[in-house]
Structure 1
């Protein structure tokens, strides 16, 4: 099987280490943890972002390669309908890496299900960046937990996307490091200055309370509907793609505005014209371990935030007085009223002090140091490697 060569930045053989990122998330869906880290890794690695396959009306499997902003090569397996997805992906991946033989290889897993076709890899370093408890998400494959056990057996390093995940994984591997959701402060701080109002909000009155991110089973739609009913003068602006739930289930009201997804570079302009941010997460199995990336992003934009009591939000931001934590629509309405009346310069100073300790650049620097310090390994096949389930689809739920 052949792969199409992506655009190159220079001629000659690339001698940089290869970082193969095996992801259940699409590169162009929501710009979040994988995109932040991989664009930084691409400064000194050849980063290949290997996505889940797409079935198309083609005769033979091929790998669609494209050069993305930030220096990352996106790789999408394009498979004939009804083909053996595991065998086809394995062959495409083997061809891709054969062209890079002899260079240091880091295999970076976001989904354990990728072992179905990547179990024969013998990288120099294997990283499992556990950004979510995928087994708890709607549509998770039954084999997810067993595949994660197998990945933990062969990983050299395990990173977690928050404290709750760290506590859940730390006794399952000898080298687990906690790297919570980080922040590109300069990007979101643009919202504090003058930015043109997006056209899609031109007819929406003030005050405005906004949410941005994936809209799925992790959102408490009942709370959103209740808040809209309690405060009909408060405009609730909802940005984000609707995933794994029926769009018809979204509550409707004159002050509820479902605007759909927006690009990462568009977000500061929206936040610049909101008065408050809110995070109406449901409290269920799918939110038990989340560490929402949008928490520091709201704060960098200078927006007061009201959130339901997600554990990592409470411990990392609520207890520090940076985010208001509530348990019901009535409490959220009361806190929104209070925050709209009382802006606090002291609160913003505390926010900036907290954000100054954290950045995606710093997170990647620390991760890269651990990878460089890892000895070159050639792990033996893990137990049961020959019986890897054929299912390749991961939970598919994006980070928040």
Structure 2
């Protein structure tokens, strides 16, 4: 992630002429429910690459500070990629501040990650509207009931829909005539650093074999499964890396061999992954995981780590040949013991390489750009 970010604040009280001096021309505006400086995942991978040839404004969900007179905070990631954190009370109010930041009235591409931004379609003009559906957000904990209707509206106005996995594709393909499946991909070179002489961070210098996870820790994680497995294998260390979302620290299972290391930057992840003996994806099977296609599966593969996962639909059908699939704590414990004992991982690595050869974030971005060109006016 970029450090030493520049920040530009535009006051809502400035005159039009001064605001125009700050406003810039953008080729694409992205609307996203995830913060750019949160966990580095699909939006960051794709949009940072899109910004190599387009000037992009990435707009987050509003934050509102009544003590702050500015209309928002503009973070300059690089010359072609800016992040706007709107200081407004709701999404609808974003439309009023857009002219303070965007000079052109007509924007070539409007790129949506969440249908909650669909009210902006009524006031902003886009040549092409993209819905990159990476999750079924309406099934997530705390999702507003009207999000389903908002998605119907967004899909009715979208020119093209991309999906983050096969299950999502099958769902959306029934509702739109131009849906393309682009499962989560990988920067193999980045995570392959775990195979080199990287240093292992001090906070993961933990005794015993390490079974590790990194990513958001939320309602999608089967915390009971994690706790029961940890009890069965007291000599194995279970490491959870990532921020909490929609759950509290009090919800986390507390065992002497479960470690919570907090959120780490994207650049640090290979160092932590190097310390894993086994990589895990202990997802609960619930509404929130029904359509997920975990990005970390391929990242674990790039580091050549044995992987154990619960039976997420897209993981089962795409990776069952090389990922150990489990349902219960007994099966989880047995598979950990088996993988720690076996020394021949050559066949696993061969399968990993076959899978990794077929995908990269660079290739995915280029294919998406090619589709967008067909809409260019």
TM-score w.r.t. structure 1 length?
0.86
Contact residue 182 and residue 358 of structure 1 kept, 8 A: yes
Equivalent pairs, count: 361
- Structure 1: how far apart are the matches of 2:96 and 2:120? 9
Within the candidate set 231, 247, 251, 1:249 is matched to: 251
1:338 paired to 2:312: no
After superposition, what is the alpha-carbon deviation per residue over 1:96-125, rounded to whole angstroms, capped at 9, x for unaligned? Answer: 33xx32775200000111122343222111
Contact residue 22 and residue 101 of structure 2 kept, 8 A: no
Residues 175-184 or 341-350, more deviating: 341-350
**Residue 193 of structure 1: aligned partner:** 196
Within the candidate set 139, 144, 147, 1:141 is matched to: 144
- Structure 1: how far apart are the matches of 2:338 and 2:93? 57
Within the candidate set 285, 292, 298, 2:287 is matched to: 285
- Structure 1: how far apart are the matches of 2:376 and 2:55? 20
**Residue 393 of structure 1: aligned partner:** none
- Structure 2: how far apart are the matches of 1:67 and 1:95? 16
1:182 paired to 2:185: yes
Per the TM alignment, residue 88 of structure 1 is displaced from its structure 2 partner at its CA by: 2.9
After superposition, what is the alpha-carbon deviation per residue over 1:31-69, rounded to whole angstroms, capped at 9, x for unaligned? Answer: 000000011001011111101111113364512111115
Within-5 A mapping of 1:251-400: 251-318=253-320, 321-343=321-343, 344-376=345-377
Per the TM alignment, residue 313 of structure 1 is displaced from its structure 2 partner at its CA by: 0.5
After superposition, what is the alpha-carbon deviation per residue over 1:304-333, rounded to whole angstroms, capped at 9, x for unaligned? Answer: 000000000101111xx1211111111011
Within-5 A mapping of 1:113-124: 113-124=116-127
- Structure 2: how far apart are the matches of 1:270 and 1:15? 39
Within-5 A mapping of 1:30-41: 30-41=39-50
- Go from structure 1 to structure 2 and tell me whether the alpha carbon gap of 1:345 and 1:273 turns closer, same or farther (over 3 Å shift): same
Per the TM alignment, residue 14 of structure 1 is displaced from its structure 2 partner at its CA by: 11
3-state SS, counterpart of residue 76 of structure 1:
strand
Contact residue 3 and residue 64 of structure 1 kept, 8 A: no
Within-5 A mapping of 1:78-227: 78-79=87-88, 85-97=90-102, 100-101=103-104, 105-202=108-205, 204-227=206-229
3-state SS, counterpart of residue 54 of structure 1:
coil
- Structure 2: how far apart are the matches of 1:236 and 1:143? 39
- Go from structure 1 to structure 2 and tell me whether the alpha carbon gap of 1:104 and 1:91 turns closer, same or farther (over 3 Å shift): closer
3-state SS, counterpart of residue 213 of structure 2:
strand
1:73 paired to 2:68: no
- Structure 1: how far apart are the matches of 2:68 and 2:198? 49
- Structure 2: how far apart are the matches of 1:260 and 1:352? 30
Per the TM alignment, residue 16 of structure 1 is displaced from its structure 2 partner at its CA by: 8.0
**Residue 235 of structure 2: aligned partner:** 233
- Structure 1: how far apart are the matches of 2:151 and 2:376? 23
- Go from structure 1 to structure 2 and tell me whether the alpha carbon gap of 1:227 and 1:88 turns closer, same or farther (over 3 Å shift): same
- Structure 1: how far apart are the matches of 2:63 and 2:211? 37
- Structure 2: how far apart are the matches of 1:114 and 1:103? 18
Per the TM alignment, residue 206 of structure 1 is displaced from its structure 2 partner at its CA by: 2.1
* Alignment gaps of 5+ in structure 1: 5-11, 377-400
Contact residue 216 and residue 243 of structure 2 kept, 8 A: yes
- Structure 2: how far apart are the matches of 1:372 and 1:16? 19
- Structure 2: how far apart are the matches of 1:274 and 1:249? 24
* Alignment gaps of 5+ in structure 2: 1-9, 14-20
Contact residue 22 and residue 109 of structure 1 kept, 8 A: yes
- Go from structure 1 to structure 2 and tell me whether the alpha carbon gap of 1:178 and 1:121 turns closer, same or farther (over 3 Å shift): same
1:18 paired to 2:21: no
- Structure 2: how far apart are the matches of 1:215 and 1:63? 29
Contact residue 12 and residue 70 of structure 2 kept, 8 A: no
TM-score w.r.t. structure 2 length?
0.91
- Go from structure 1 to structure 2 and tell me whether the alpha carbon gap of 1:13 and 1:249 turns closer, same or farther (over 3 Å shift): closer
Per the TM alignment, residue 19 of structure 1 is displaced from its structure 2 partner at its CA by: 1.1
Per the TM alignment, residue 195 of structure 1 is displaced from its structure 2 partner at its CA by: 1.1
Contact residue 279 and residue 306 of structure 2 kept, 8 A: yes
- Structure 2: how far apart are the matches of 1:257 and 1:87? 41
